[in-house]
Amino acid sequence: MSARQELITKYAADLKDKCGVTPNMDLLTKVTIGCGPSIYNADASTVAGTQQSELDTVKKNFLIKKLGLKDSPELNAAIASVLDQYGKSNKHKYRAVVYYLLTVHFKKESIYK
């Protein structure tokens, strides 16, 4: 099994066990690929949910640039909701999982078709 496939399996387990979501594996794979090499870097592969600069990066680089959403308070609320769903006590929130949940939240799966 490739390193990327191992990570996708880990992300799917997080979605199921920590978020209560049965993942669409095709979408999860595409979101993971979209994260690029960051998934292999210990620091870049996770989202620091308590750092405002990290939350701004998720909003600006993913929600606005990648998903094409307009900047609004709804974006911050969605990020907070997804991080809460992932579990506040969970220190390792994988970027690919957060991006997957945000993609589904905003019904932007078509971006990855």
Residue at token pair 């308070």: 73
| DSSP letters spanning 80-112 | HHHHHHH-TT-S--BHHHHHHHHHHHTT-GGGG
Instruction: Provide the residue-wise pLDDT of the chain in tens; the chain has 113 residues.
Output: 899 999 999 999 999 999 999 999 999 999 999 999 999 999 999 999 989 999 999 999 999 999 999 999 999 999 999 999 999 888 889 999 999 999 999 999 999 98
Q: Is 14 exposed, middle or buried (0-12, 13-18, 19+ CB in 10 A)?
A: buried
pLDDT score of 35: 96
pLDDT score of 102: 98
Beta bridge partner(s), residue 94: 46
pLDDT score of 96: 98
pLDDT score of 91: 83
In whole angstroms, how large is the CA radius of gyration of the chain?
Answer: 13
pLDDT score of 69: 98
pLDDT score of 88: 82
- What is the dihedral sign for C-alpha 48, 54, 60, 61? negative
Residues 28 and 19: beta-carbon distance below 8 Å: no
pLDDT score of 89: 83
pTM of the model as a whole:
0.96
pLDDT score of 27: 98
